[in-house]
Amino acid sequence: MFRPNALKKRLLSGKRALGCWTVLGSPPVIELLAYCGFDYLLLDQEHGFGEPSALLHSLQAMAATPNCTSVVRVPSNDPNYLKRVLDAGVEGVMVPNVETADEARAVVAACRYPPAGRRGSALGSARASDYGIHSLDYKQKSSGELLIVVQIESPKAIDNIDAIAAVDGIDVLFIGPHDLSGTVGQLGDLKHPEVARLIARAEEGIRRSGKPMGTVPHPGATWREMFQRGYHMINAGSDVGRLRDAALAEVKEFRSVHP
């Protein structure tokens, strides 16, 4: 059912938002995490399992939790892929590795109906419009309710950050620190001086724009510390990490007593 975007409202009011990655694409796991009270779940289709047609059951699993917003990370800045996840009824999209204002404008255009954009219309049948039942309402309100997040993951993107942030329709700039570190040959080493300088430049540029800033907790830092650094949207952990780490800790404890 088409509904107000609780995450977008929260971010635009200046509040912080805590979310969780979901990589496994498992509807019961997604349902459980949504019930836990996160502001949003990031349904990852760049590195996670699943593709547009698999979204249906994940979104249905979140339908009973109106305060937990669905955000899908698509594999790339592909208008056809974006069109499919939008028609499925996602409430937010995250696009990786956006490096220029033109690329950011292309993201927005893919998410908006003409004349504001170039999104193809399936208003009469798409799940997003409640299978056409509320097509007029969806057509009128979808652009305003959709949250659009672009990832800043390269030095080129940081050089263009002012222009990217100025694009109408871009709601959040999300720093991808690990891929950013990889672009300068220091994959995963976020404390390397060159990587730290790039992250600081990205943070400064996003703060200058006045738009919400997102990221993941850096190694050795908690989500609390990241919010204190000025971030607004933090993906704290993942379905894989929560399952893996709890299981490993329990097995380790057991083996220490019963080798």
Q: What is the CA radius of gyration of the chain?
A: 19
Instruction: Please state the separation of Cα 103 from the chain's center in Å.
Output: 17
- The hierarchical CATH code for the domain 6-257 is 3.20.20.60
Interval 60-81 mean pLDDT? 96
Whole-number Å distance between alpha carbons of 179 and 236: 17
In the chain, at which residue ranges do the beta strands (DSSP E only) sit? 17-22, 40-44, 69-73, 92-95, 147-152, 172-175, 213-215, 233-238
Neighbours of 120 (CB within 10 A): 13
Instruction: Please state the separation of Cα 196 from the chain's center in Å.
Output: 22
pLDDT tens digits, 98-110: 999 999 999 999 9
Give the pLDDT confidence score for residue 123 in this predicted structure.
Answer: 95
Which entry of 47, 192, 218, 258 is annotated as an active-site residue?
Answer: 47
Q: Residue 176: is its pLDDT beyond 90?
A: yes
Q: Residue 32: is its pLDDT beyond 90?
A: yes
Interval 10-17 mean pLDDT? 96
Residue type, 107: V
- Going from N- to C-terminal start, the domains of the chain cover 6-257
Q: For the chain, what is the mean pLDDT? A: 96
Is 47 tagged catalytic?
A: yes
Residue type, 140: Q
SS3 235: strand
Give the pLDDT confidence score for residue 2 in this predicted structure.
Answer: 78
Residue 58 vs residues 131, 138, 141, 214: alpha-carbon distances, Å? 17, 20, 23, 23
Residue 56 vs residues 15, 60, 90, 227: alpha-carbon distances, Å? 29, 6, 9, 32
pLDDT tens digits, 33-57: 999 999 999 999 999 998 888 899 9
pLDDT tens digits, 112-171: 999 999 999 999 999 999 999 999 999 999 999 999 999 999 999 999 999 999 999 999
pLDDT tens digits, 228-259: 999 999 998 999 999 999 999 999 999 999 99
Whole-number Å distance between alpha carbons of 192 and 4: 41
The two tokens of residue 250 are: 């329990």
Interval 58-74 mean pLDDT? 96
Report if pTM > 0.75: yes
CA dihedral 164→211→58→95, nearest 10 degrees, is 10
> Residue 17: which pLDDT band, with cuts at 50, 70 and 90?
very high
- The pair phi, psi for residue 47, each rounded to 5°, is -110, -15
pLDDT tens digits, 202-224: 999 999 999 999 999 998 899 99
Give the pLDDT confidence score for residue 157 in this predicted structure.
Answer: 98
